[in-house]
Amino acid sequence: MNRLLAVNIGQDLPLGTGRSVSSTFPTFSVIVDIIIRNSFTIISVVLVGLLLFGGLTFIMGAGSQDQKKAAQGKAIITDAIIGFVVTLFAYLIVQIIEIITGLKILNSGL
């Protein structure tokens, strides 16, 4: 049977395969690593959204000679960039701790 839009996800997902949670996620670091990797994707999408919103607010405030709107847009852009940089530094600190101590905090072998 030829299916145009059908996708077989049964082999990729652990749901309904009979595998236990302990075989899918053998250690706590695997779960933490999955959460952190997905959170970076979400954080990046939020960063782009905030940059677009802050940029539009800044442009509209500057175009209408409203200094409060322009300052608000500038503050949104600044806060978005600061939040992203803080998140990246947190990840880098964890990586440095892994290198110095030799401990595997995050399981990067997924």
Between 46 and 102, residue with greater pLDDT? 46
Tokens 């299916």 belong to residue: 3
Task: Please give the structure tokens belonging to residue 94.
Answer: 């964890």
- Give 10-17 contacts, CB < 8 A, sequence gap 24+: none
Tokens 């960039």 belong to residue: 81
Within-domain flag for 16: no
Within-domain flag for 14: no
Within-domain flag for 41: yes
Within-domain flag for 62: yes
pLDDT for position 52: 97
Within-domain flag for 45: yes
> Counting every residue, how long is the chain?
110
Within-domain flag for 76: yes
Distance CA 104, CA 30 (A): 10
pLDDT band (50, 70, 90) for residue 98? confident
Between 29 and 59, residue with greater pLDDT? 59
pTM, two decimals, is: 0.65
| Domain housing 80 | 26-101
Task: Please give the structure tokens belonging to residue 16.
Answer: 């309904």
- pLDDT tens track for 37-88: 788 889 999 999 999 999 999 999 988 888 898 899 999 999 999 999 999 8
Within-domain flag for 59: yes
Within-domain flag for 109: no
Residue 93 CA, chain-centre distance (Å), reads 17
| Counted domains in the chain | 1
Is 106 in contact with 80 (CB distance < 8 Å)? no
Radius of gyration over every alpha carbon of the chain, rounded to an integer in angstroms? 21
